[in-house]
Amino acid sequence: MKPKIRLATAYDIDAVFEIEKLCFNKLEQFDKNFFYLFLMRRNFEIFFVATIEDEAQESKLVGFIIAYLNKIGNYEIATVNVHPDFRNQRIGLELMVELEKAIKIIIPELVKSKKIDENSQNIIIELTVHDKNDTAIALYDKLEYKRLETIPNYYQKGKNGIRMIKSLKLK
């Protein structure tokens, strides 16, 4: 079943936070205020949720993605999570694809606000993934992200991150 991808609202935060707690241990997870922050700033941040309809035609939030424009003009994916019961159903892929579409749509506003140069041919998307998260790494490889470096103890002692980037063509 294909998920519906839409902008997150304040009504989604409880479900988003529950997924966050399922995906990360207490030392690695973001707190609830982190998610509210991305709803309030709306300064070129992108916060999408993925929903599917259950048997009773009720909409269930099953994943989310948050990205923001960092200080050097690259988009950084802060987090992308899919509820464990709904993994391997292309939800992460759909979130990533919609994120890339949204970035391309935002480009004229980024140029207008002088966040990027009007002659830019591409924009960099950055992310960091747990080095043991083979499923996510395979997804990012499929989407043509390139591995830059391994960051020791990124998540916590003994839990390394892999820094990956993609150059998204704008034209």
pLDDT per residue as tens digits for the range 107-152: 888 888 888 888 888 999 999 999 999 999 999 999 999 999 999 9
Residue 73's pLDDT band, with cuts at 50, 70 and 90, is confident
- Characterize 8-32 residue by residue with b for buried, 16 or more Cβ atoms within 10 angstroms of its Cβ, and e for exposed: beeebbebbbebbeebeeeeebbee
> What is the per-residue pLDDT for 151?
95
> What is the per-residue pLDDT for 42?
67
Domain ranges of the chain: 4-169
The number of beta carbons lying within 10 Å of the beta carbon of residue 163 is 16
pTM listed for this prediction: 0.92
Topology given in CATH for the domain delimited by 4-169:
Aminopeptidase (3.40.630)
**Helices 134-142 and 91-112, axial angle in degrees (round to 10):** 50
pLDDT, greater one: 55 or 8: 8
